[in-house]
């Protein structure tokens, strides 16, 4: 190929990339509750990468209210299956109660849509595998909204750990808690119904930290012990507190806890104790990322934004933008279906361990 031809090809590829970047992804929303209202819809709109074409909710008035709130010209539906049939969509966000994630995701994938599904991705490993297999069969992307990976403080923490300055990771502690979903989703009664939610704090909050630990350390969990109880949400059929101990495949030890009874403070922190010091993430107010080293002996306070407070859903993490750019082939998924399934397996193992009072080994398949 001549130099002139190569130059022409470069221009064509540049023009193509620009066209791809400008094209907006046509989005449908399945489920118009609080997480769609406060996170998915505003983040798609803020990204500049998406056009919200349609909204669906079994309570049709919620879809209409959401369209009105954001002044969307999107069509609204009571049945998401009608939306999938009638609208020319590139992708959907699945924002339904946990027990409906699998069916809606698979229906959307079969309809030719890429899917961003809320966490936990499914109510069982069988469902998760089915979702991944359906995405593979139809050649579509399946992303799981494990959004803690996108916090700037966690991105920086990952960079620090990968640098090797702290040495081998030996012990991990992670905690996520707030006063309960009723405080940010007053109509979300399904959170407390085991048939619909499958878990309580374990899935609502614990799966976030299970995924974050895997993301930060690059390690996989091998064994789990756990306890859980419903201590305060007396009308709930799911747990409001749980704590687990983790053993990783390389022998690293950790603890993972989640609670719906944390009041008067934020509990959204992670601590990693390593061979050459420790890293505290969102533990110290005003100092979101602090490393304490022993060789040389020093404290390093990194300049990075804190994680969002527990009462803030409009996180500004650009999850919608990341998803759209992955669809366009401009960047990898921030959390794939396979990654989401590995984190789901940890909380499923924790539930089994708590019920049986035995150590549960993960399959990691």
Contacts of 223 (CB under 8 A, 6+ apart): 246, 247, 359, 360, 361, 362
N-term to C-term CA, the chain: 46
What's the CATH architecture for 3-147?
Answer: 3-Layer(aba) Sandwich (3.40)
Choose among 272, 268, 204, 193: nearest CA to 233: 193
* pLDDT for 310 beyond 70: no
Residue 38, exposed/middle/buried by CB under 10 A (0-12, 13-18, 19+)? middle
Structure tokens at 62: 């919620």
Instruction: CATH 3.30.360.10 in the chain: give the residue spans.
Output: 148-311+335-361
pLDDT digits (tens, 9 = 90+) for 78-132: 999 999 999 999 999 999 999 999 999 999 999 999 999 999 999 999 999 999 9
Q: What percent of the chain has pLDDT over 70?
A: 92
Instruction: CATH 3.40.50.720 in the chain: give the residue spans.
Output: 3-147
Structure tokens at 312: 């803030």
* pLDDT for 4 beyond 70: no
Its pTM surpasses 0.85: yes
Structure tokens at 353: 């361990």
Q: Is the dihedral of CA 259, 265, 266, 272 positive or negative?
A: negative
* pLDDT for 189 beyond 60: yes
- pLDDT confidence bin for 311, thresholds 50/70/90: low
pLDDT digits (tens, 9 = 90+) for 247-285: 999 999 999 999 999 999 889 999 999 999 999 999 999
- pLDDT confidence bin for 18, thresholds 50/70/90: low
How high is the mean pLDDT of the chain?
93
d(CA 281, CA 278): 10
**Domain covering 148-311+335-361 assigned CATH 3.30.360.10 in the classification:** yes
Structure tokens at 261: 């009874």
d(CA 31, CA 94): 7
Give the SS3 label for residue 285.
coil
């Amino acid at each position: 190929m001549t130099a002139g031809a190569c130059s022409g090809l470069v221009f064509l590829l540049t023009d193509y990339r620009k066209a791809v970047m400008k094209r907006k992804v046509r989005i449908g929303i399945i489920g118009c509750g609080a997480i769609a209202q406060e996170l998915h819809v505003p983040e798609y709109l803020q990204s500049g990468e998406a056009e919200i074409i349609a909204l669906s909710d079994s309570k049709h008035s919620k879809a209409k209210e959401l369209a009105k709130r954001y002044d969307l010209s999107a069509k609204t539906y009571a049945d998401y299956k009608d939306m999938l049939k009638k609208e020319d969509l590139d992708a959907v966000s699945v924002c339904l109660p946990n027990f409906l994630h699998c069916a809606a995701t698979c229906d959307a994938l079969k309809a030719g849509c890429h899917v961003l599904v809320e966490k936990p991705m499914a109510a069982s490993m069988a469902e998760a595998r089915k979702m991944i297999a359906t995405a593979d069969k139809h050649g579509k992307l399946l992303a799981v909204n494990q959004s803690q990976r996108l916090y700037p403080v966690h991105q920086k923490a990952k960079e620090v750990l990968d640098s090797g300055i702290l040495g081998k990771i030996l012990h991990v502690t992670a905690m996520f808690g707030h006063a309960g979903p009723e405080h940010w989703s007053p109509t979300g009664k399904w959170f407390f119904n085991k048939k619909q939610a499958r878990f309580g704090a374990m899935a609502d909050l614990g799966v976030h930290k299970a995924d974050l630990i895997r993301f930060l350390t690059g390690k996989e969990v091998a064994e789990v012990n756990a306890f859980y109880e419903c201590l305060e949400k007396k009308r709930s059929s799911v747990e409001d507190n749980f704590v687990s101990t983790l053993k990783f495949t390389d022998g690293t030890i950790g603890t993972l806890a989640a609670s719906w009874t944390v009041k008067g403070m934020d509990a959204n922190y992670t601590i990693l104790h390593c061979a050459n010091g420790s890293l505290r993430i969102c533990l110290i107010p005003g100092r979101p990322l602090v490393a304490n080293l022993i060789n040389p002996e020093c404290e390093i306070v990194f300049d990075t934004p804190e994680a969002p407070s527990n009462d803030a859903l409009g996180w500004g993490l650009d999850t919608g933008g990341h998803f759209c750019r992955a669809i366009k082939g401009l960047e990898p998924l921030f959390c794939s279906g396979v990654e989401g399934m590995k984190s789901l397996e940890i909380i499923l193992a924790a539930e089994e361990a708590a019920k049986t009072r035995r150590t549960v080994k993960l399959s990691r398949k």
